[in-house]
Amino acid sequence: MKTRTILLMLLVLTFTTVTVIAQQSSKDLKKNIKKKAVKEARKEAKRFKKEGYKVAPGALPMEKQIETAWMRQYETAEDGYPLYIVASGNSVANTTSAAKLQATELAKLELAGSISTQVAALIESSIANQQLNSEEAASVTKTVAASKSIIAQELGRSLPLFEIYRTLKNKNVEVNVRIAYNSKKAEEIAQKTIKKKLEEETEIAHDKLEKLMKWDN
């Protein structure tokens, strides 16, 4: 009985120690991420200000906005992969609102391009494991390559990280934005979008498509 009690106490102690170490590691990781983000933000904000960029009246200081952006870029999920996909957009127009809209759309396209490239790599790997003939494989590759703009439309609302602007000599306004989107959610949207497009534009059997589009997220 005494031995069982000692063993139980040792197990509790071990579990408590592991939990404390895990919590400490998590704190250290966040501290390191914060340190890196602050360093990168100061450097980037200095460059932007030198180029004449400002933030909108009432918005957070440029350094703080860029720091948040870098924090998002450094964040990782439990599997070690990036938690967010981050993209930038830049545009010039005769008004701030028009330039911001165009810059945001360009950032979404960049974001969609990143996720479609990742999904394309997964599909290419899946093609090798499925019984697709050369014609079917070519159709899949072509359809995936043409899906970027559709994925961008399906992404919906993204997470704005920072927005800066400057007035050019010709009085036009240049806006620079950075946005983020949850990686897992973006992959799910891309997967559904590409699957639907494949169903509409190819004659590949349904069961083959199901197997082709199935991988571990």
Q: Note whether 63 and 41 are within 8 A (CB).
A: yes
Give CA angle at 10 (8, 12), nearest 5°: 70
User: Is the pTM higher than 0.95?
Assistant: no
Q: What is the pLDDT of residue 173?
A: 96
- What is the domain partition of the chain in residue ranges? 2-212
**What tokens does 186 get?**
């973006």
178 and 161 in contact (C-beta within 8 Å)? Answer: yes
pLDDT < 70: residue spans in the chain: 1-34, 128-131, 215-217
d(CA 160, CA 72): 11
Q: State the burial class of residue 166 (Cβ atoms within 10 Å of its Cβ: 0-12, 13-18, 19+).
A: middle
> What pLDDT does residue 80 have?
75
Q: How many helices (H) and strands (E) does the chain have?
A: 7, 3
Q: What is the pLDDT of residue 114?
A: 86
Residue 29 amino acid letter: L
Position 176 scores a pLDDT of 96
Decide: 154 and 188 in contact? Cβ < 8 Å.
Answer: no
- Write out pLDDT tens, residues 158-192: 899 999 999 999 999 999 999 999 988 888 888 88
For 176, the token pair is: 């620079």
CA distance 204 to 142: 14
